[in-house]
Amino acid sequence: MDTIVYKNLGLIHYKKAWDYQLSLFNELLANKNNNKINSHHHLLFCCHSHVFTIGRNGNDNNLLINKDLLQQKQIDLYHIDRGGDITYHGPGQQVVYPIFDLDQFGINTKEFVFRLEEAVINTLAYFSIEATRLEGAAGIWLDATDKSKSRKICAVGIRSSKRVTMHGIALNINTNLNYFSYMNPCGFTDRGVTSMQKELGHDVDIELVQAVLKKQLTAQFSMVTST
């Protein structure tokens, strides 16, 4: 039976996590190229120190501070190989990297992203936060249909090669939202960003969010999960 191997990496530097997930991604891809069945998939949970990442279709002009200020504020910057534009990762945010061979799940990339989003929507609903998708924009949003109120609570950006995936989602839990003012999040200049903490008015138990999100992701992809 196919198995999702779960690992919580804790607080980890972005580049170290990127290298690690890339090694797992390359392993699954090599198996496919050699006509081997991937029976194990990987679900990585982690949190990063302050970092901006710009996707392969991103615009550097959406970063609103210069390199000197980045260094002064101890914020890293990486141009990476996922889709999407610029986003921020930092303490108080839950990042999830699914390294999956989608052929073993019988789904395409569009369905994969839909299921990731559904797991986040269901997780937020557990905490009485009503969230949804916004047509034409990746991620999970609150008040999505009202442009004056809409705000993103979770970013989504993936890479897929031969239906093997990497990168994933970033859910704002107790995130310091001030860092989003240093950029145009995902290229948007007319929509806001929020966190579970801001919406609920108090700090949120990150370990509880992790447990709920892990359960929801496992349900969406319907496989045995091992730790």
Active site residues: 186
Cβ–Cβ < 8 Å for 125, 212: no
Cα–Cα distance for residue pair 60/18, rounded to 1 Å? 20
Helix (H) or strand (E) holding 164: strand 164-172
Report strand pairing: 3-11 vs 40-47. parallel
- Cβ contact 175:58 at 8 Å: no
* Cα 181 from Cα 177, distance rounded (Å): 8
CA–CA distance, 62 with 155 (Å, rounded to integer): 16
Residue 29: other Cβ atoms inside 10 A: 18
Strands 93-99 and 3-11: unpaired
DSSP string, 5-72: EEEEEEE--HHHHHHHHHHHHHHHHHHHHTT----EEEEEEEE-SSEEEE-TT--GGGB-S-HHHHHH
